[in-house]
Structure 1
Amino acid sequence: MKIARTLSFIAGITAATLTTLPTPAAAEDVTKISFMEVIHSLFYSPLYVAIGNGYFEEEGIAFDLIAGQGSDKVTAALLSNSVDIALAGPETTLYVETGKSPEKIRIIAGLTATDGSFLIGHDPATGDFDWSSLKGKKILGWREGSSPAMFLRAALEKAGLNPDEDVEIITNVAIPARMGAFMSGVADYGTFFEPDVTTLEANGLYAQTNVGQAVGDIDYTVFIAREAYIAEHPEVVAGFVKAIAKAEAWIAEAPEADVAQVLQPYFPGVGLDELAQSVLRHRAAGVWKTTPAVAPEAIDALQDMLMYNGLLAVETKVAFENVVDPSFFAQSAQ
C-alpha cells in the first residue's frame, strides 16, 4: 500500500456513518462533549464501564456514543472540529503529524495494550500454542494494511515464519461473512474478536491463543483530541482521562459477573454468560490497559511496524512528544 494512499484521508474530510448507542442519563451540571469511537466493540469494554459505572458523571462529563466505522472517518471528524475526543488507533496521530493538515492531534490516554484478536482453530489447543506450527496452513485474516493484519504478520514473523511464503493469509472475505466462511472450512485458522470468539467456540471451534500476546505491548486503541481542544479545555481532558483510569482499574479486578452486568446495556444482543466469558478472555490475555499511560517504547514499536509494512516512511519517524500528551497520565492517578 502506498503511503500517499494511507494518508489520503487527511485531505478529504467526509461525513462518518453514525450509530448512536445507549448511554446513562447525564447529571444536570455536566459538560456535554462530542465523542466518537472507531467501532462499537467488546474489545473496548473499559470505555463502557466508565460510562455505566458513572465515572464520567463524577467528572462532570457527558456524551453520546457514536461509532465512526473506521479510523479514517473518526480522524476526519476530529480534524473538522465536529468531534472533541475520539477513540481510534494510535497510528492516526502519526499520519496526521506527518501529513499536511495544519491541525494536529495528540494521544491523551490509552485503552488497549495490544491486539485483542484471537487465533481460532478447528481442533482443541494442546498446551502452549506454537505459532511455528502454522507453517503451510491457511489463515483467515483481515484487509491488508489494517491493524489486525499487521499484528498477525508480526506474530508470524516472531515465530520465524514468512507471512508471504510460509502461510496463506486470506484477506478478501468481507467482515460480515468471516464467521460463516471460517465455519465452512475456508481456512485452517482465523483471527477473530469477541464476541465472535465465544460464538465460534459455541459452534464447536476452539480459541488457540491471543495475537497480541505474541506481538507484545503496542498500544492498539487510544483516546485522541486536537491540540487546540486540549489547550482550551484541559480540565475536561483531565476529567475524561481520570474516568478512563478508574474504569481500567475496576475492570482489572471486578468479578466478571459484575462487569457483565455493567456491559449488558451496551451489548443487548449478547448474553450475560457470554459477556462474562469475554471479560475473562480479555483479562487473561492482558489486552486491556490497567492505566491510561502510553509509553515511548510502545509508540516506537508501532512506528517500526508501520514502516516495515510500508505505511510510514522511515525518514518521517515522529518523536513521542509530538504525538502523545502525557501530562494527564499522572493526574488520573490522583
Structure 2
Amino acid sequence: MKKWFRIAMMSLLIVFLIIPITACTQQEKKTVKTVRVAEVTRSIFYAPQYVALSKGFFKKEGLNIELTTTWGGDKTMTTLLSGGADIALVGSETSIYVYSQGTNDPVINFAQLTQTDGTFLVSRKKIDNFSWDQLKGSTFLGQRKGGMPQMVGEFVLKQHSIDPHKDLHLIQNVDFANIANAFASGTGDYVQLFEPTASIFEQQGKGYIVASFGTESGHVPYTTFMAKQSFIKNNKDTIKKFTRALYKAQQWVETHSTADIAKAIQPYFKDTDIQLIEKVVDRYKSQGSYATSPILDEEEWNNLQNIMNEAGELPKHIDHQTLVDNSFAENVIDK
C-alpha cells in the first residue's frame, strides 16, 4: 500500500512540475511578436540589420522579423503607408515628403542605421588619377529624382563646381532596380552604385570605383527605421525591443573585425563571395557609414534638409522633433 502511495505521489509531483513548464512554453510562444520590415534594397550597407538577425538579437527580444526587400524609396514608403509593413528601412527624406503632402498619421524616424551616403562613383574606364572635373561633358547614369542617392550625388557634384544639369548628360529615368543592368549594358560613362554591386563590377571589369559619395557628403541620416505614428503609439514595447536589438548589433559591428561581420551577414548575400563581402564591409566601416547608435541627431537632420534644398527637392523645412523620436534609442542606450 505504501509503495502504491509513493508511486501516486511521485506521479502527482511530476504532473505539477510539467504543467508550469508547459504553461511557460505556451506563454513564451504567445509573447513572440511578428514585425514586418520593408527594406529599400538589399545591401551590405545595412550590415548591422543582418547582424541583428543572424546573431538572434531580435529573437532574444521576442521579435520575429519578416524582412522584405521592396527595391526603391517610393515603393518602400508605399508599402508602409498601405499597411504592407510595420516598419520601413529607407531614407529619411521619404518621411519629409509624406509629411509635406499632409497626413494625420505621419511617418516617424525612430532609429538610425547608416550615417553617410552609401554609393560610389563608378567609371566605365579605369582611371589612375581621377579628378571630379573629368566628369564634365560625360554621360552620368544617376539615381531616381528626389531620392537620397541622387540628391547627395548632386550635392557632391556641386561642391566640385559641377552643375549636374548643365555640365553632364544626366540620366534619371531608369528604375532603381535596373540602374546596374543599364550600366552593364553600355549606358553611361559613369554611374552611382551601392555595394556590393560596385565591387562586383570592378571584379568583373565592367567598371571601376573612383570615388565615394559617402566621404564627400558628411553625416546624414541616410537610412533609418521608421513607422507610422499610430503604430509607434500602439506598439511602444515592440519599438523599444526592436531598437534595443538594433543597438546591440551596432555595437557588435563596431567592436568586431570585418571578417567576423562578413561571416555573420553572409547568409543574406549567398551569391556573393565572402572575401568580397569582407572588402565591402571594410570600405563602409572605414568611412564611418555604419551608425554606432540608433540616435538621429539634429545636426544630421538639418544636413539632410540642406542637401534636399540644394537639390530643389525640399518641400518645406521640418523641425527635428516633428519627425524624429529618439526616446526609444536614448532609453536603450542609457540601460
TM-score class, shorter-chain normalisation, is 0.7 to 0.9
* Equivalence for 1:303: 305
* Equivalence for 2:20: none
* Equivalence for 1:3: none
More off after superposition, 85-94 vs 320-329: 85-94
1:160 aligns with 2:161: yes
Shift of residue 184 of structure 1? 6.1
* Equivalence for 2:237: 235
- Residue-by-residue CA offset, 1:203-246 (whole Å, 9 max, x unaligned): 23421121121111111111001222222222211111111111
Q: Distance in 2 between matches of 1:87 and 1:177?
A: 20
Q: Distance in 2 between matches of 1:207 and 1:110?
A: 26
Q: Is the 8 A contact 1:106 1:224 kept in 2?
A: yes
Q: CA RMSD in A?
A: 2.2
Q: Distance in 1 between matches of 2:258 and 2:235?
A: 35
Q: Is the 8 A contact 1:79 1:103 kept in 2?
A: no
- Residue-by-residue CA offset, 1:177-205 (whole Å, 9 max, x unaligned): 54455456543322211111121111234
Q: Is the 8 A contact 1:113 1:287 kept in 2?
A: yes
Instruction: Report the secondary structure of 2:226's partner residue.
Output: strand
* Equivalence for 2:85: 83
Structure 1 pair 32–187 and aligned structure 2 pair: CA distance change class (3 A): closer
Shift of residue 58 of structure 1? 1.9
- Residue-by-residue CA offset, 1:114-135 (whole Å, 9 max, x unaligned): 2101112222444xx5434433
* Equivalence for 1:317: 317
Structure 1 pair 173–33 and aligned structure 2 pair: CA distance change class (3 A): closer
- Residue-by-residue CA offset, 1:62-116 (whole Å, 9 max, x unaligned): 1211123333333333334442222111112112222222111210001111210
Shift of residue 140 of structure 1? 2.3
Shift of residue 47 of structure 1? 0.7
Q: Distance in 1 between matches of 2:214 and 2:329?
A: 23
- Residue-by-residue CA offset, 1:33-85 (whole Å, 9 max, x unaligned): 22222222222121111110111112221121112333333333333444222
Q: Is the 8 A contact 1:132 1:156 kept in 2?
A: no
Shift of residue 31 of structure 1? 1.7
1:134 aligns with 2:135: yes
Which residue identity is paired with 2:319? Answer: A
* Equivalence for 1:144: 145
Structure 1 pair 106–175 and aligned structure 2 pair: CA distance change class (3 A): closer
Shift of residue 294 of structure 1? 0.7
Identical-pair percentage: 33
User: Runs of 5+ in structure 1 lacking a partner?
Assistant: 1-26
Q: Distance in 2 between matches of 1:186 and 1:38?
A: 24
TM-score (norm 1): 0.83
Q: Distance in 2 between matches of 1:307 and 1:150?
A: 9
Count of residue pairs the alignment pairs up: 304
Q: Is the 8 A contact 1:97 1:322 kept in 2?
A: no
Correspondence 1:1-334 to 2 at 5 A: 28=29, 29-121=31-123, 122-126=125-129, 130-173=131-174, 178-179=179-180, 181-183=182-184, 186-204=187-205, 205-313=207-315, 316-333=316-333, 334=335
Instruction: Report the secondary structure of 1:165's partner residue.
Output: coil
Structure 1 pair 74–164 and aligned structure 2 pair: CA distance change class (3 A): closer
Q: Distance in 1 between matches of 2:249 and 2:216?
A: 26
Structure 1 pair 305–254 and aligned structure 2 pair: CA distance change class (3 A): same
- Residue-by-residue CA offset, 1:248-304 (whole Å, 9 max, x unaligned): 222233222221221121111112112111111211222221211111122222223
Shift of residue 174 of structure 1? 5.0
- Residue-by-residue CA offset, 1:114-173 (whole Å, 9 max, x unaligned): 2101112222444xx543443333322223333222111111111122112223323344
Structure 1 pair 117–243 and aligned structure 2 pair: CA distance change class (3 A): same
Q: Is the 8 A contact 2:93 2:147 kept in 1?
A: no
Shift of residue 322 of structure 1? 0.5
Which residue identity is paired with 1:189? Answer: Y
* Equivalence for 2:18: none
Q: Distance in 2 between matches of 1:296 and 1:31?
A: 31
Q: Distance in 1 between matches of 2:42 and 2:277?
A: 14
Q: Distance in 1 between matches of 2:231 and 2:50?
A: 23
User: Runs of 5+ in structure 2 lacking a partner?
Assistant: 1-27
Instruction: Report the secondary structure of 2:167's partner residue.
Output: coil
Structure 1 pair 225–134 and aligned structure 2 pair: CA distance change class (3 A): same
